[in-house]
Amino acid sequence: MDGRELGDWAGGENVHALHARCKNNEGVSLIGLGGSPHGPFRTVFEYSEKEAETLFERAAKNCGGGLLILVSHCPPKNTKVDQVSSGEHVGSIAVRRFIEKTEPRLVVSGHVHESQGTDTIGSTTIVNTGPAQSGHYADITIKDKVTVKFPKLM
């Protein structure tokens, strides 16, 4: 879990920071949210759901048209990809509201390691890539539909 200072980092020549920002490139708008709203993990980069909504509003002002993709460390609340091993849903209400309002084509998240997989909210495909520290990742293709595979390194 990266610290709050990474959220303030502006990026570099070939690396673009997405926290509370939108990056437009060739008809695709990537909007991002790092850290997570307050939850059971007590991570070092947390904020309120209201703050998350404000961050989304600020970032969305800079988004162009075209294909919208949300990259959010925290998955949306009450989905197959936000459940911890006890069954509790620990995702973000603000992330879910943003999805319901803007209907991005794809949401890529993590945070909840035990919930690697996919789900949908309306027409939006949601992907939890799983824990990179264990070699998990998602191979995502967007054409007429979103296709997701979960290969594993190692």
Residue range of the domain that includes 100: 4-149
The C-alpha atoms of residue 24 and residue 30 are separated, in whole angstroms, by 6
| pLDDT of 43 strictly over 90 | no
Confidence band, pLDDT 50/70/90 cuts, at residue 6:
low
What count of other Cβ atoms lies within 10 Å of the Cβ of residue 142?
A: 14
Position with higher pLDDT, 9 vs 61: 61
Residues 101-112: tens digit of each pLDDT: 999 999 999 999
Domain count, the chain: 1
What's the CATH code of the domain at 64?
A: 3.60.21.10
Residues 45-104: tens digit of each pLDDT: 888 999 999 999 999 998 988 899 999 999 999 999 999 999 999 999 999 999 999 999
Domain presence at residue 12:
yes
H-only helix segments in 31-74: 49-60
Helix axes 93-102, 49-60, angle to 10 degrees: 30
| pLDDT of 141 strictly over 70 | yes
- Residue 147's H or E segment, with its range, is strand 146-149
- The identity of residue 12, as a single letter, is G
Domain presence at residue 154:
no
Residues 11-40: tens digit of each pLDDT: 677 787 888 999 999 999 999 998 888 877
| pLDDT of 137 strictly over 90 | yes
* Cα dihedral 131→104→118→51 (10° resolution): 50
